[in-house]
Amino acid sequence: MKQDGLVRLLESMTMDEKINQLIQLAATFYSEDSKENTGPIREVGLTEENVWNAGSILGQSGAAESIKIQRKYMEKHRLGVPVLFMADVIHGFRTIFPIPLALGCSWDLEMAEKVAEISAREASVSGVHVVFSPMADLVRDPRWGRVMESTGEDPLLNSFFATAFVKGYQGKDPGKEPERVAACVKHYAGYGAVSGGREYNTVNMSERQLRESYLSAYHAAIEAGVKVVMTSFNTVDGIPATGNAWLLRRLLREEQKFEGIIISDWGAVEELTVHAVAKDRKEAALLALKAGVDIEMMTSCYAHHLEELAAEEPSLETLLDQAVMRVLKLKNDLGLFEDPFRGADPEKEERIVLCQEHRQVAREAALKSIVLLKNDGILPVKEGVQVAVIGPGAASKDILGAWSWQGRTQEAVSMIEGAKKIDPKILTGSEPFDYIAPSAKAVSEAVQLAERSEVVILALGEPAWMSGEAASRSDIRLPESQLEFFRKVRKINKNVIVVLYNGRPLDLQGINDANGIVEAWFPGTEGGHALAEVLWGKFNPCGRLCMSFPEQAGQLPIYYNADNTGRPAGISAEPKYISKYLDVANEAKYAFGFGLSYSEFHYGQLVLDKNVLASDGRISATIEVENRSKADGLETVQLYIRDLVGEVVRPIKELKDFRRLALPAGQKCKVTFTIEESMLRYFHSDQSFTSDAGEFDVMIGPDSANLTTQRFRLIK
Ligand code: BGC
Ligand code: BGC
């Protein structure tokens, strides 16, 4: 439909019909067998007419059912406006890929795009039009359960991933490609900084900090053309994001020029009354509309009060019309007026959902997301060695992660299933082994197997429900029963490899002296196959942490790109009066960017082609990397920069570029990065994004804690 057609359509709508376009209800209102429920269902008090005129539905999927609902909906809608189906497709639809935090550890943007493309294909043939992904929240505190949905603590890496996901979901134009979907970036803004890592808690930070660290990944998604933005549950400078006009109108609409739909998070409009910035639901509707929220998810403040509000304040009608137009426009952009069923296709759904080709990509993604944290030489497992695979994760299929809505655990490959394909002689137990409270029988069976084996693979971690939404933890160690189990096994076997399933960086106290530690995260449907390949050396691990592992939770939040203090460790002769703890180091246990492989990479001298950078000039920074091992491998060469003197305090290092380098055994290669003035800009106290003349350190190395440095000067 052309723009003037949309305008005419809008003009022909009654007030009720307009307002209904701004309502989003869960699929449970339409179909009996829907599983979606990610928040409290309140008594919404809507009429049958509201329900069958609501502009969008959350959490509906399944081609046949979606077609049925759309058909019924179109029959009932006076003007034949189709309904939009939106859903939480976060890291896969039915083929489940590793959780986003794991994908972040791949540093592989092409693969992330592929993952999103396949997710879009499976979702669209099942009737979904919009996916609530990517989540671009920057995270620094693993107590927060939702770190599993993020790609970590670095603004640049998050921005790259947000862009890759949007491209993968949307393609060039989802209107022209029915196997793509519209993407929704979330949660705008700053949700990753909830105080103390406690879910839904207050966020308090300066505007400058928000801009410098937190906004860039959402904005990258917007630049990539994302169609929808979801608001966050938290406050931004005292005002909940969902009622925050400065955030949504000033920053998002005016500065970022975002023209797509802004949708509230689940129930967040009504929660303005619970935050107590609105005295009642009517005022909540007013605040949200004025702030710029187009669609209200799952509560009915708009449905019940917008008409009355517009009668009292006629200028609101313009805002209302704009919101409705955005909803109609997305429907039109996706081609729903021409074909309301769009990609939904039961036959195709049957054929491509969880097909072999998609499983193959899930396996590749899992392989690239696994991070080898520790290896005293025990890995890869040598041929002919008697191995036991034991512990709560060994036979577990609970490896999809908390956001695998349509994923089915029974379709996942467990570690034991994967391992048996490589070594059918591994010893495994038959007793079910619980993550929190294993039976004495299960533990003693496992300990006996450990006794009879040369090498033990101990599969530990968190069950999936321990991370994700509404799953913050204050103590992020492994459950005590697992630490005790580890001690028992360690006592009788000196060759212990720990494999971890978890949705957050953990405090690894209690298992640090394992001979090898493999971080598997929640690796998705093909997890067991990928893990076996890594453990037995069929695949050389290449994952690099996108989020720091603390030594212990008392250090949290911990992140590599921290600001310098006035009393940093290391420069004062007086050891007492420095920024430190009395009982633990400042450093992370495993820093951002870290990850081992079966290769040994050595870095040579860092050479700059010049030491002075003009505003329009370039410096080439070159370093030689050598693979001094017998294993072909993949190294992620990382470039960081530090601004030595800024107008505001600068981080001690910031990732500015990286290169993933496939290096065959015994070979070396020169890697050259280009440094330009644009990489040196930051937000000043007046919020301007500029660079300062002066000195900078450039640092290159295998991770954020192991770097070689050179200095240059920017002249302006
Ligand atoms: C979550 C969102 C999600 C939405 C819809 C909310 O509770 O915060 O991330 O997209 O529910 O299910
Ligand atoms: C302390 C101040 C104190 C000053 C003079 C500083 O190290 O932070 O609180 O008044 O020394 O002793």
Q: Is 51 a member of any domain?
A: no
Q: Is 667 a member of any domain?
A: yes
Q: Is 588 a member of any domain?
A: no
CA 571 / ligand 2 centre spacing (Å) = 19
pLDDT of 368 above 70: yes
The predicted structure's pLDDT at residue 37: 53
The reply to whether ligand 1 has any atom less than 6 angstroms from the CB of 435 is: no
Residues 641 and 499 in one domain: no
> Rounded mean pLDDT of 554-572?
92
pLDDT of 673 above 70: yes
The predicted structure's pLDDT at residue 43: 61
pLDDT class of 48 with cuts at 50, 70, 90: confident
The reply to whether ligand 1 has any atom less than 6 angstroms from the CB of 266 is: yes
Q: Is 640 a member of any domain?
A: yes
- Residue 651 contacts by C-beta under 8 Å, 6 or more apart in sequence? 561, 562, 563, 564, 642
Question: Tens digits of per-residue pLDDT, 298-325?
Answer: 999 999 999 999 999 999 999 999 999 9
pLDDT of 28 above 90: no
The reply to whether ligand 1 has any atom less than 6 angstroms from the CB of 24 is: no
Residues 513 and 396 in one domain: yes
Which DSSP letter does residue 519 get? Answer: E
d(CA 63, CA 303): 29
Residues 522 and 626 in one domain: no
Total domains, the chain: 2
pLDDT of 393 above 70: yes
Residue 424: CB atoms within 10 Å: 7
Number of the ligand closest to the Cα of 241:
1
| Ligand 1: residue whose CA is nearest its atom 8 | 265
- Phi-psi map region of 677: left, alpha, beta (phi>0 left; psi -120 to 50 alpha): alpha
Residues 404 and 481 in one domain: yes
User: Which residue range is the domain that position 674 belongs to?
Assistant: 601-715
pLDDT of 567 above 80: yes
Last residue of a domain, one of 539, 556, 571: 539
d(CA 264, CA 27): 17
Residues 399 and 519 in one domain: yes
Probe residue for ligand 1, chosen from 34, 36, 84, 88 as the CB with the greatest number of ligand atoms within 8 Å? 88
The reply to whether ligand 1 has any atom less than 6 angstroms from the CB of 39 is: yes
Residues 441 and 512 in one domain: yes
Q: Is 475 a member of any domain?
A: yes
d(CA 627, CA 629): 6
Residues 514 and 618 in one domain: no
Last residue of a domain, one of 539, 560, 588: 539
| 3-class SS of residue 420 | helix
Residue 481, Cβ density class (10 Å: 0-12 exposed, 13-18 middle, ≥19 buried): middle
pLDDT class of 39 with cuts at 50, 70, 90: low
- The residues pairing with 499 across neighbouring beta strands, listed in sequence order, are 459, 518
Q: Percent of the chain, pLDDT > 90? A: 95
Residues 614 and 490 in one domain: no
CA 552 / ligand 2 centre spacing (Å) = 29
Question: Tens digits of per-residue pLDDT, 465-518?
Answer: 999 999 999 999 999 999 999 999 999 999 999 999 999 999 999 999 999 999
The predicted structure's pLDDT at residue 466: 98
Q: Is 107 a member of any domain?
A: no
pLDDT of 38 above 80: no
CA 577 / ligand 2 centre spacing (Å) = 10
Last residue of a domain, one of 539, 562, 581: 539
Q: Is 102 a member of any domain?
A: no
pLDDT of 599 above 60: yes
Residues 370 and 504 in one domain: yes
Residues 664 and 534 in one domain: no
The predicted structure's pLDDT at residue 44: 72
583 catalytic per annotation: no
Residues 627 and 525 in one domain: no
> Among 88, 265, 507, 703, which one carries the catalytic annotation?
265
CATH code for position 658: 2.60.40.10
The predicted structure's pLDDT at residue 80: 93
Q: Is 305 a member of any domain?
A: no
Q: Which two tokens stand for residue 254?
A: 């005016």
d(CA 152, CA 137): 8
CATH code for position 442: 3.40.50.1700
Residues 372 and 515 in one domain: yes
